[in-house]
Amino acid sequence: MTNLAPSDEQYDPAIGAEVDQLLARRTRDIRLKGEIMRLFRARVWSQTAKIIRAWMIWVALLDVLTLTVNMVILPSAITTRMLLPAAIIPPVAMAVVLLWRKPQAPWVEASSLITGMFLILLSVALVGVSAGGEFYERQLNVMLFVAITAIIIFGIPLAWTVAIAGLALGLYLVFQLQNPAIEHGSAAAGTLFFASGIFATVAARRIMTILAQKTFLFELRDRRRVAELAKANQRLELLARTDPLTGLANRRWMTETLSRIWGSDKRCLDGAALLMCDIDHFKKLNDHLGHAEGDRCLVEVAGIIQENVRRDYDHVARYGGEEFLVLLPGVTEEEASAVAERIRTSVEAAAIPNPGTRARRVTLSVGVAMQTADEAISPEQLQRHADTALYLAKERGRNRIVLRRPDSEECKPVRWAQ
């Protein structure tokens, strides 16, 4: 029996409402929290982690390359003093890379990244402090440059970005205050100068993050609308292919199904039967009991037919009016006749009232058409054969089954009520 019920996808209406509320705000006022923030982090984590890992590897390689060049062009006394602080960067960077290979708890990610950045910035600064002279201030400037590149490209929460910026400026101020080449006032002035640039970079990074979050909100909204539209289209498609009274497939669906599976389902090619069932004297039932009872009769007969076929294997449809079609793939003539007889006797045993007939209860006539591997015919021919067999069943007295063999123009009665 074919199941036409669509698969339902559940959506959280609270999230949809929150997304609409956030998009109604000004861009600068967007703040993600709760489940939406969790979804956003899950959405961007892979890209963010990839950028952080790449940046760490780049810093480690650049540290080794710079140290190597310095060893070639600078006096050994200076490079020896640079060696120990410079050696901090590679293991710290690799530790962050390894930790950011898969998602961790937010506090673990935050602490590892901020701690790693602090050690890297400290290492860069200590290289200059250890070397002294012209390298002192130059390395502090390099440290700020390293911090700014991280701030620009890391798509991390604002609090993490501010922490990195604060660490960089704090280190710069502390080491500049200890710089014998400048006065404290100059150290403070230089820190304020660089602070304005760094916090402008933080503000730009915040705007980039908000725009990314807004894009994500648009994506959520559009995805929900597309899903709702797809669901509505699915419901319309279901309505277009379903008989609203009985819940069975309708004639259109059965016709399309026959055309679709006839050339692809080996069971149909090796042997199949089409049953055309018609309620006897249905007009008299409507005339005597009214159309409401007629509808009730159709629903009950549809249920009886469904109960007597193989679930998820056979196909049942309301063909029109009081007629039903049943496709039985992979059956022999005897099996098809047995199913038809089971349906007929079950309808008769249900004793659905039909006072306008001699039996005073609803009966069913069935025309059976066969398809075999030796005598392949089209679905249209099979329907015509089933219709011919049904006509003969009606003509010979109703409440009976007539079989139309594929290799013969004759029809034979299978069973009828005595």
DSSP type of residue 366? E
| CA dihedral of 188, 194, 197, 201, whole degrees rounded to 10 | -110
Instruction: List residues bridging with 329 in a β-sheet.
Output: 272
Looking at residue 11, its pLDDT comes to: 57
- pLDDT band, very low/low/confident/very high, at 255 (cuts 50, 70, 90): confident
Lowest model confidence (mean pLDDT) among 25-29, 271-275, 346-350: 25-29
Looking at residue 263, its pLDDT comes to: 63
Looking at residue 256, its pLDDT comes to: 85
Judge whether residue 417 has pLDDT over 60.
no
Average pLDDT over the chain, rounded to an integer: 88
Average pLDDT over residues 341-369: 92
The one-letter amino acid code at 71 reads M
Looking at residue 254, its pLDDT comes to: 87
Average pLDDT over residues 319-328: 93
Structural domains in the chain, sorted by start:
13-224 (no CATH), 251-416 (3.30.70.270)
- pLDDT band, very low/low/confident/very high, at 325 (cuts 50, 70, 90): very high
**264 contact partners, CB below 8 Å, separation of at least 6:** none
Judge whether residue 360 has pLDDT over 70.
yes
Average pLDDT over residues 311-325: 91
Instruction: List b or e across 5-30, with b for residues whose CB sees 16 or more CB atoms inside 10 angstroms.
Output: eeeeeeeeeeeeebbeebeeeeeeee
Question: What is the number of residues in the chain?
Answer: 418
Question: How far apart (Å, rounded) are the C-alpha atoms in residues 305 and 326?
Answer: 8
Average pLDDT over residues 124-139: 91
Looking at residue 406, its pLDDT comes to: 62
Q: Are the beta carbons of 325 and 275 closer than 8 angstroms?
A: yes
Pick from 408, 407, 379: nearest CA to 269: 379
Residue 28 is encoded by which pair of tokens?
């600068």
Q: Are the beta carbons of 389 and 367 closer than 8 angstroms?
A: yes
**What single string gives the DSSP state of each residue in 205-265?**
HHHHHHHHHHHHHHHHHHHHHHHHHHHHHHHHHHHHHB-TTT-SB-HHHHHHHHHHHHTT-
Of the chain, the percentage scoring pLDDT greater than 90 comes to 57
Judge whether residue 85 has pLDDT over 50.
yes
Average pLDDT over residues 150-174: 94
Looking at residue 375, its pLDDT comes to: 72
Question: How far apart (Å, rounded) are the C-alpha atoms in residues 268 and 277?
Answer: 20
* Enclosing H/E stretch for 411: strand 411-416
List the end-to-end C-alpha distance of the chain, in Å, as a whole number. Answer: 31
Chain segment 226-241, per-residue pLDDT in tens: 888 888 888 887 777 8
- pLDDT band, very low/low/confident/very high, at 194 (cuts 50, 70, 90): very high
CA atoms within 13 A on the CB side of 346: 18
Query: Which single residue is written with the structure tokens 């349906």?
Result: 343
- pLDDT band, very low/low/confident/very high, at 413 (cuts 50, 70, 90): low
Would you say the pTM of this structure is higher than 0.75? Answer: no
Judge whether residue 269 has pLDDT over 90.
no
Average pLDDT over residues 306-318: 91
